[in-house]
Amino acid sequence: MAACSESVTARDGGSELGVREGGVKDTRVGDTRGGDRGVADGPGADLGDGPPAADTIDPTLDSDGDGLPDVFENQFASLDAHKADSDGDGIGDADEDDDKDGLTAAEELAARVALGTMQSGPGPETRDLLVEVDYQVGRAPSKALLDGVAAAYRAVDLVNIDGSRGVNVYFFIDERDLPVANMPSSLGGRGDYLRNHGPKNLKGAHVAKMLHLIFASERPDASSRGGETVGESQRPPADAGVLIYGGNLDKIFPVCGAPSSAAVSVDEALLSTTIHELGHTLQLGHDTSVGGGVNPYNIMATSLPTCDDLKKRTRGVGNTNPALGAIESVGAPRFSTAAAKLMRFDKKLSVEVSQLDDGDDGYEM
């Protein structure tokens, strides 16, 4: 696989702009089971069949010895704190991946520990993505940016085991303020950079399952490229990941201003680029004629010949149907339902694999 990026071409004031584009954590709080009981079961106290409230349990108590504390297991209908193999399928609860997001329950528990919370975070009944974030000096991602990325993935049209929808994204900041360094023109050189900045300060069973995202400054030999997803079949997953070129984007945006509507800003471009490139790590290709024509409201679309098309993808201008992607009432990038159905959580680029499927350009829609 070569670098996978997107090319957005929009005409602004008569000039043609070729834009190549490619989420401090978002902890989606979920209710714990146990109702409103304020005390734990004790001798002579019958408080019902449900588990005790999470805040009344010894956080180290593991009744079935499966490596998952009761305070964690009691939050999920699919787990039984008194059975090491709740569903009796021969696989211990800690090693199960019931929600098929590529994370075992033990890895999701480890992520919660790292986030400092046992009452919310990754779990065995929702699709979760863990993302390692590094950034160069001057390129720290804002909270608004990471929240915007997380919102786009929460809106993905996929139903989880617990009945909720979407994908929960959790960001783990690792290396901060790396020296500013232009990305090399060679694919191998960019792979080396990703490998050399693998997890340095992050610990736990979940770390090996993190996507790798680096906010860098520029790639001078490809100045119209705002970001890319890098990987090669001959190299390990550690050499793959996402590079976002904020310096390149600064030189391109804003574009597509009046008279139709406000120009697409640098912040909007950075958000779109990050969402798009992380989509590639889930094996998504671009929105092309494969699906019967390019859908400009899908964040994976890249054939956008006009400013109106760019604003459709960026803000959902003119659209009220969320199945297509971005809608005007929200005004932010979104995945189409067609894209959601193609996401692969068992073959994530930079985690399980180092290249895209389907002819090495991902699954098109």
User: Is pLDDT of 346 > 50?
Assistant: yes
How many structural domains does the chain have? 1
pLDDT score at 55: 55
pLDDT score at 19: 35
More confident position, 39 or 163: 163
Answer yes or no: is 144 within a domain.
yes
Segment 189-198 mean pLDDT: 98
Residue 160 domain boundaries: 6-26+59-340
Answer yes or no: is 105 within a domain.
yes
Confidence class for position 2, pLDDT limits 50, 70, 90: low
The average confidence (pLDDT) of the chain is: 88
pLDDT score at 53: 54
Tokens of 310: 């760019």
User: Is pLDDT of 85 > 60?
Assistant: yes
Answer yes or no: is 353 within a domain.
no
CB atoms within 10 A of CB 62: 18
Nearest to 320 by CA among 307, 311, 330: 330
pLDDT score at 261: 85
User: Is pLDDT of 48 > 70?
Assistant: no
Segment 270-283 mean pLDDT: 99
Confidence class for position 3, pLDDT limits 50, 70, 90: low
Given the structure tokens 């597509």, which residue do they identify? 256
Answer yes or no: is 217 within a domain.
yes
pLDDT score at 39: 28
Q: In this prediction, what percent of the chain has a pLDDT beyond 70?
A: 84
pLDDT score at 352: 98
Q: Rounded to the nearest 10 degrees, how much is the dihedral formed by the CA atoms of 342, 327, 314, 173? A: -60
pLDDT score at 285: 98
* Cβ atoms of residues 158 and 129 within 8 Å: no
More confident position, 42 or 118: 118
User: Is pLDDT of 78 > 60?
Assistant: yes
Answer yes or no: is 13 within a domain.
yes
Answer yes or no: is 121 within a domain.
yes
Answer yes or no: is 329 within a domain.
yes
Answer yes or no: is 50 within a domain.
no
pTM, full prediction:
0.87
Could you read off the pLDDT of 17-44 as tens digits, one per residue?
333 333 333 333 222 223 322 222 333 3
